[in-house]
Amino acid sequence: MSHEMSQLGPRAFNHASSSDAEAEYDRLRDLARQEASKRGECFSRSKEAYSSGDGAGAKQLSEEGKAHGRKMEEYNKQASEFIFRENNANGRVEADTIDLHGQFAEEAEEILEERIKYAKSHGQTHLHVIVGKGNHSANHIQKIKPRVEQVCRELGLQYTTEDNDGRIYVNLTGGEAVMPPSTGYQGGAGYPGQQQGHQQHQQQQHGQGHQQQQQQQQPDELEELAKKFVPRILRKLEKACCVVM
């Protein structure tokens, strides 16, 4: 399994996170990069050993490289799960929203596919996908947004960029991607403060039962997605090149 990791930008969180949370995420990604570097060194030395006729030495170095690769995968798995839970914790995004900040492009693709399946199976008609504006990526280039758009095209789903360029609205019914006027989204990257009033307004109009049910489902949904998407990511990443938003 081989995938390259680009350097993270200054912040991969989409909310006012604690310094401890940011430090833990950065630590895990950094450990993964270190293991990737060690893996590369082992494979390079293995190739040299093989060229010089040292087959046994080449095999040993190759096995060491594979071991570093497995450690790299595990650290990336932990980092991906960690930031997914942090950015999508109950109260930070609404039930019809998923935040992909801090994910590698391949990770974001797999998470989104699982989230779409979950949403459609639970009768949800649309999804707001937070992809970021590229502010945290190398050279400030959006990496997640093109991958999200690719997933939508492959699934035959209509999508549109919202007023905030860091969000995409996806119609899960197969129809035209026209956002309903009552979304209540006012722009900006943060959601808790901006959305609180909108949630209360929805509760008054539509009843508290439905909204509370969505909020109660969200923690279970996060656990379900976190358990499902990481193993599949690791299988699909072979010979792929990962870049971070």
Domain ranges of the chain: 16-88, 91-179+222-244
**Tens-digit pLDDT profile for residues 204-240:** 444 444 445 555 555 566 556 655 555 454 444 444 3
Give the strand order in the sheet containing 159-161.
Answer: 97-99, 126-130, 167-171, 159-161
Closest-CA residue to 182 (of 126, 135, 236): 126
pLDDT digits (tens, 9 = 90+) for 47-62: 999 999 999 999 999 9
Contact assessment for residue 128 and residue 97, using Cβ atoms and an 8 Å cutoff: yes
Q: Is the pLDDT of residue 63 over 70?
A: yes
Distance CA 159, CA 174 (A): 10
Q: What is the pLDDT of residues 72-82, one digit of tens each?
A: 999 999 999 99
pTM: 0.68
Residue 99, classified by CB atoms within 10 Å of its CB into exposed (0-12), middle (13-18) or buried (19+), is buried
What residue spans of 52-136 are helical by DSSP H? 55-87, 105-121
pLDDT tier for residue 186 given thresholds of 50, 70 and 90? very low
110 Cβ contact list (under 8 Å, min separation 6): 229, 232, 233, 236
Find the helix or strand (DSSP H, E) in which 29 lies. helix 19-51
Contact indicator for 108, 127 with CB cutoff of 8 Å: no
In tens, the pLDDT along 191-206 reads: 433 344 334 444 444 4
CA distances from 6 to 41, 167, 212, 242, 243 (A): 18, 22, 40, 8, 6
Contact 136, 245 (CB under 8 A): yes
Segment 118-137, tens digit of pLDDT: 999 999 999 999 998 765 55
- Mean pLDDT, the chain, integer: 77
Q: Which CATH architecture has domain 91-179+222-244?
A: 2-Layer Sandwich (3.30)
Task: Please tell me the least confidently modeled range out of 26-35, 132-141, 167-176, 178-187.
Answer: 178-187
